[in-house]
């Protein structure tokens, strides 16, 4: 009871004090963060390779002449490349972010983060579940989002609509932000599918194995099923919060065989071991630990066969909870110090589960959308690997001054209770009126998907044109190939996604 009272007092103080602090310290905080990250207004493109977009969409020459303006509210940080230039040219949303400031609760990074994570959202979307039995007889679930007014609950396997694979946070919480993303994706022609890990969101736990933080084995089988069910549609992926650890692990382990065209991480946590150890303040950490204990309590008896449930349910931090689940056994070895064994196992555990362990193997464009004032991830200077985005041509960072954790509230958001006003949700989705309240981060990721797809198609057309011109030149080589026996040609298995064509431009777009 005392803990609940302290938590309530803390929330009341934040509600009363935080907006005022944000109002008086907005400009000074933004300047300090710019200096702390070492980002210069004029040197972002020339020296470090950081491509920056102006808030009002003005060009680079105008930005260089205005030395007395306020710092930019959003910037694209990446290694200069053909794709980076294409994104800056065609993604208008990247340079059009107007965060809420002043005396409003939406100006608080903490409050808008809690609002998007916990508040209820009346979405005009329903879910159709597919339970997938894995190779070890475990179960994961794919929830396919469909409009509530749609009579036909399942899509045809011959549909060419792109599939959007959505990975929630590692705690399995279906947030308001995720529901809005499903709604937005449906209105733009995507087929959203939410991936649920073992025991998450009423997924039955049929084995004694839970999915580790960065183990992509279950996700790999789910992607294989999606390709079987929707063979004609391209696959895109979006992860939210700590769910980005699973997505980045999958992309790193699979490399060019991931069958994903492009991916986006919304408010990702990059250095996860440090985050579990000392990133969160105690009220937020206590809330997440309590939520995870409630979700695991229904399996307390069966989990007792493999883990120490007393240690699990007496944990007071995220690290203790993760250690109890994956770094301890039901009975500790005799004659061994439990603390020393756990400490050594903890480091080994993160060697296998750190999201960036195979980051050099990622072979598709990945956009990370982050805010400097993210209260969940922690200090931007120590938690965002800027060197990764400055040196790896596959990674792009869209960094804003404000936005919280998966919040990114804008000044145009006026109705907090719904996105449709007096219009019914079904009519809004059917007529496209729901796009008036689309989140800025959702607009950015959809533009990123569209721009990368258009870029890939243009690169492929250029490649085919060059090959056609070479073939028209004649020569002995061409005549020899046309008269070669069919039996001597290696038959390449046809892929429904034309994945080989997708990855042919890998070298060209990183130039």
Catalytic residue chosen out of the listed positions 188, 402, 405, 442: 405
Could you tell me which residues come within 8 angstroms of residue 393 by beta carbon, excluding any fewer than 6 positions away?
A: 78, 79, 81, 83, 84, 509, 510
> Token pair for residue 32?
């300090």
Q: Is the dihedral of CA 231, 234, 239, 243 positive or negative?
A: positive
Contact predicate 77/399, CB 8 Å: yes
Q: Look at the block and give the residue holding tokens 């803990």.
A: 3
> Token pair for residue 482?
């046309």
405 is catalytic: yes
> Token pair for residue 105?
């609760």
Give the pairing of strands 262-266 and 366-371.
parallel
- CA geometry: angle at 50 spanning 45 and 53, to 5°? 80
DSSP classification of residue 434: G
Contact predicate 311/319, CB 8 Å: no
> Token pair for residue 153?
């609950």
What is the longest distance spanned by two Cα atoms in the chain? 86
Cα separation, 262 vs 162, in Å, equals: 11
> Token pair for residue 270?
């990059």
Cα separation, 492 vs 498, in Å, equals: 11
Cross-strand partners of 370: 399
- Catalogue the long-range contacts made by 204-208 (C-beta closer than 8 Å, 24 or more residues apart): 204/131, 204/139, 205/139, 205/299, 205/302, 206/137, 206/138, 206/139, 207/136, 207/137, 207/138, 208/302, 208/303, 208/305, 208/306
Q: Which of 384, 405, 380 is nearest to 395 (CA)?
A: 384
Contact predicate 460/452, CB 8 Å: no
For the beta carbon of residue 15, count every other beta carbon within 10 angstroms: 13
442 is catalytic: no
For the beta carbon of residue 443, count every other beta carbon within 10 angstroms: 21
For the beta carbon of residue 427, count every other beta carbon within 10 angstroms: 13
User: What does each C-alpha distance from 443 to 295, 319, 394, 478 come to in angstroms?
Assistant: 32, 35, 20, 47
Catalytic residue chosen out of the listed positions 374, 401, 402, 442: 374
Cross-strand partners of 77: 397
Q: Look at the block and give the residue holding tokens 């007096």.
A: 422
User: What does each C-alpha distance from 230 to 134, 166, 211, 440 come to in angstroms?
Assistant: 19, 16, 25, 29
Cross-strand partners of 128: 144
Active-site positions?
A: 374, 405
């Amino acid at each position: 009871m005392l803990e609940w009272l302290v938590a309530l007092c803390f929330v009341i103080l934040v509600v009363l004090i935080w907006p005022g602090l944000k109002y008086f310290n907005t400009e000074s905080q933004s300047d300090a963060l710019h200096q702390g990250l070492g980002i210069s207004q004029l040197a972002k493109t020339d020296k470090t390779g950081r491509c920056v977009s102006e808030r009002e969409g003005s060009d680079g020459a105008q930005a260089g002449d205005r030395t007395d303006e306020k710092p930019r509210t959003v910037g694209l940080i990446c290694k200069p490349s053909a794709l980076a230039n294409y994104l800056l040219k065609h993604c208008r949303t990247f340079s059009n972010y107007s965060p809420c400031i002043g005396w409003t609760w939406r100006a608080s990074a903490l409050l808008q983060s809690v609002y998007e994570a916990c508040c209820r959202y009346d979405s005009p979307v329903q879910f159709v579940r597919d339970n997938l039995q894995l190779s070890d007889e475990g179960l994961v679930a794919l929830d396919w989002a469909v409009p509530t007014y749609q009579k036909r609950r399942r899509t045809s396997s011959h549909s060419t609509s792109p599939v959007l694979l959505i990975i929630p946070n590692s705690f399995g919480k279906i947030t308001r932000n995720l529901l809005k993303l499903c709604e937005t994706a449906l209105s733009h022609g995507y087929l959203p599918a939410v991936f649920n890990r073992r025991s998450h969101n009423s997924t039955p736990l049929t084995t004694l194995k839970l999915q580790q933080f960065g183990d992509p084995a279950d996700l790999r089988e789910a992607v294989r099923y999606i390709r079987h069910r929707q063979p004609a549609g391209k696959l895109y992926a979006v992860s939210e919060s700590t769910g980005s650890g699973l997505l980045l692990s999958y992309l790193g382990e699979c490399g060019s065989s991931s069958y994903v065209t492009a991916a986006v991480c919304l408010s990702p946590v990059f250095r996860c071991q440090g985050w579990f150890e000392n990133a969160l303040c105690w009220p937020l950490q206590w809330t997440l630990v309590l939520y995870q204990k409630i979700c695991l309590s229904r399996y307390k008896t069966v989990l007792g066969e493999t883990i120490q449930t007393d240690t699990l349910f007496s944990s007071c931090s995220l690290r203790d909870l993760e250690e109890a689940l994956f770094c301890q056994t039901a009975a500790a070895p005799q004659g061994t110090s439990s603390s020393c064994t756990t400490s050594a196992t903890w480091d080994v555990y993160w060697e296998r589960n750190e999201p960036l362990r195979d980051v050099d193997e990622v072979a598709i464009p990945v956009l990370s959308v982050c805010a400097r004032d993210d209260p969940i991830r922690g200090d931007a200077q120590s938690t965002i690997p800027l060197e990764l985005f400055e040196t790896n041509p596959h990674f792009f960072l869209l960094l804003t001054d404000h936005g919280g954790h998966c919040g990114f509230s804008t000044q145009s958001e006026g109705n907090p209770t719904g996105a449709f006003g007096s219009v019914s949700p079904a009519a809004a989705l059917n007529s496209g009126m729901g796009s008036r309240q689309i989140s800025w981060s959702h607009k950015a990721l959809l533009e990123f998907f569209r721009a990368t797809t258009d870029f890939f198609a243009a690169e492929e057309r250029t490649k085919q044109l060059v090959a056609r011109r070479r073939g028209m030149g004649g020569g002995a080589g061409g005549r020899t190939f046309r008269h070669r026996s069919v039996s001597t040609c290696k038959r390449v298995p046809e892929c429904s996604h034309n994945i080989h064509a997708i990855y042919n431009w890998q070298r060209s777009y990183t130039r």
